[in-house]
Chains A and B, each alone.
Chain A
Amino acid sequence: GQSLEQPSEVTAVEGAIVQINCTYQTSGFYGLSWYQQHDGGAPTFLSYNALDGLEETGRFSSFLSRSDSYGYLLLQELQMKDSASYFCAVDGGSNYQLIWGAGTKLIIKP
């Protein structure tokens, strides 16, 4: 089967750094995407990694290790507005479908 695992919930303090991990098991792999979704809102694209290494976009960075079937999203200088659910998604199936993790709820405390 195909699956993605990520923690269900992570708690951090405003101004801190937090890492959200994602491990995947898929029959094929082209890349790992990260999406942010606020409660009641639509998912919004954050980042995409096709190759091993770290991609940085402002306060957010995403890492991929294809050999370990593992990636993470790193959020720095946390702000209250970063409180949301974060999903990793892999293209590993047929017809280029995105396979989604169950999401990690990030709770930020002042």
Chain B
Amino acid sequence: EAGVAQSPRYKIIEKRQSVAFWCNPISGHATLYWYQQILGQGPKLLIQFQNNGVVDDSQLPKDRFSAERLKGVDSTLKIQPAKLEDSAVYLCASSLEFDPYGYGYTFGSGTRLTVV
């Protein structure tokens, strides 16, 4: 089966600019996750969707980050305006069903964002 697709692979922007990341999960996977991974740290969950509804966005900085998952398939994550501390790898993952233990997580290769 095809994996989780993410684009772009790399992005460099200046602070205060906006940026958007795109994720296409594995076909049929109902649950989609966006993670932020800062260099040298473990992934941090930003938002979790079940189909096109939000399950958890408690760690999403809502003043600058937004995410949507239209039609329960593709998802976009946006940052506006970006700050230097947003430099990180943004990982998208999907699973077949609600999967709290990460059994069935499949991660995309991520988007490496550098804010200068």
A residues with CB within 8 A of B: 4, 30-31, 33, 35, 40-45, 48, 50, 87, 89, 91, 94-98, 100-103
Contact = CB atoms under 8 A, between A and B. Distances in A.
Binding site of B, secondary structure by majority: helix, strand, loop or mixed? loop
Given A89-B42, A100-B42, A102-B42, A95 B103 contact: no
B56 A42 contact: no
B91 interface: yes
B109 A42 contact: yes
B108 interface: yes
Chain B: number of interface residues, binned into ranges: 20 to 34
B101 A87 contact: no
A45 B103 contact: yes
A32 B84 CA distance: 33
Contact of A95 (B44, B48, B101, B107): B48
B78 to A, nearest CB: 21
Contact of A98 (B45, B55, B108, B110): B45
